[in-house]
Amino acid sequence: MFWHHYSIDTNKSGPGFAAPGLRNRAETMDRLDAMRLFTRVVERRSFTQAAFDLDIPRSTATQVIRHMEDRLGTRLLQRTTRSVRPTLDGEAYYRRCITILADVENAEGAFAGATPAGPLRVDVHGTLARHFILPALPQFLERYPGIALYMSEGDRLADLVREGIDCVLRVGQPQDSEMIVRRLASLAEVTLASPDYLARSGNPADLDALGTGHRMVGFHSTATGRVLPLEFSVGGKVREVILPTTLTVNAAESYVDAARLGLGLIQVPRYHAQAAMDAGELVEVLPANLPPPMPVSLLYPSNRQLSPRVRVLIDWAAQQFASGQRI
């Protein structure tokens, strides 16, 4: 990467002075890389995090931005001991940089021989990552060897711009209206309980029977900030049911494990519990009133042009769910 050769002689003066190693490069390319750094600093609100993302020393990052400000003749960033924020001029310059960088990337990607390259940061729901994404990643990275993929796992509402994330893969109804949503699939859901639980509490014949001493394992969603109700399809509509709980969790694996231990009813995508169902550890309950299918979506910021890296990831992720719209 260009940054490893970027050197600035701080003993020299003058706006935008670059050491010989930098002068040997085309000035336009130097400025494009500086723009990439500047946009990352704005998005991460941190020189340290931006430098880490781009694999350069922090000292290099601060020098590049300082010389950029000298060249433009204005202060772009307001620095404090805790964070970095763009000035009004910095905000305007950031928006222009985003457009310019996206145009350059799209122009290069328009050629048949061009392949997307560079860092790609994705936040993925954990069980989706392990079941659908990770098994096929070797083929994706072989097809696009220039992409360096950084994948985190979670289900919270990530601040994509602030955290430097390019896109997120989520289950459920998207909550953030400022994101562009690409629907990938729908996951079939089931209501489950352990045989021991059903032996103690009875196997409910209908929804009304849930009110006769049944419990659920609570699942606290970090995305919504509340415990999710059980949902059942009744005559084309969805009926929500909240049952007493003795345990509330916020992790998918603990949720399934709690049901295995007989602590109450749960609702999960079928793929997530299929092994436990096949082993007889969990039994489907109320199959005539299935939970509504769970949508799977990929989201990215609406204020960014879609880069070729994100575009190929979206197309590839859609293929992973292409075996059927309901899995």
Q: Does the pLDDT of residue 215 top 90, yes or no?
A: yes
Are residues 304 and 234 part of one domain? no
User: Of 109, 140, 172, which residue sits at a domain end?
Assistant: 109
Spatial CA neighbour of 260 closest among 240, 242, 280, 289: 280
Quick check: 192 and 267 in contact, CB under 8 A?
yes
DSSP for 215-272, written as a single string: -B-EEEETTTTEEPPEEEEETTEEEEE----S-EESSHHHHHHHHHTTS-BEEEEHHH
* pLDDT for res 177: 63
Are residues 64 and 6 part of one domain? yes
* pLDDT for res 155: 65
Q: What percent of the chain has pLDDT over 70?
A: 83
User: What is the SS3 assignment for 306?
Assistant: coil
Q: How far apart are CA 179 and CA 310, in angstroms?
A: 14
In a domain? residue 219: yes
Location of structure tokens 């003795």: 246
* pLDDT for res 19: 40
Number of domains in the chain: 3
User: Of 89, 109, 129, which residue sits at a domain end?
Assistant: 109
Give the residue numbers spanning the domain of 224: 189-292
pTM over 0.75: no
Are residues 309 and 286 part of one domain? no
Are residues 237 and 140 part of one domain? no
Are residues 138 and 16 part of one domain? no
Are residues 279 and 310 part of one domain? no
User: Of 109, 126, 146, which residue sits at a domain end?
Assistant: 109
* pLDDT for res 176: 61
The Cα-based distances of 77 to 50, 87, 91, 253 in angstroms read 14, 5, 9, 43
What is the per-residue pLDDT across 73-131, written as a single tens digit (0 to 9) for each?
999 999 887 789 999 999 899 888 888 887 887 777 666 566 788 888 888 877 888 88
213: left (phi over 0), alpha (psi -120 to 50) or beta: left
In a domain? residue 326: no
Residues written for the chain: 327
Are residues 144 and 90 part of one domain? no
In a domain? residue 325: no
Are residues 286 and 304 part of one domain? no
Q: Does the pLDDT of residue 319 top 70, yes or no?
A: yes
CATH number for the domain harbouring residue 258: 3.40.190.10
Are residues 87 and 178 part of one domain? no
Are residues 7 and 93 part of one domain? yes
Quick check: 54 and 36 in contact, CB under 8 A?
yes
Which of residues 8 and 187 earns the better pLDDT score?
187
Are residues 300 and 152 part of one domain? yes
Are residues 62 and 15 part of one domain? yes
CATH number for the domain harbouring residue 61: 1.10.10.10
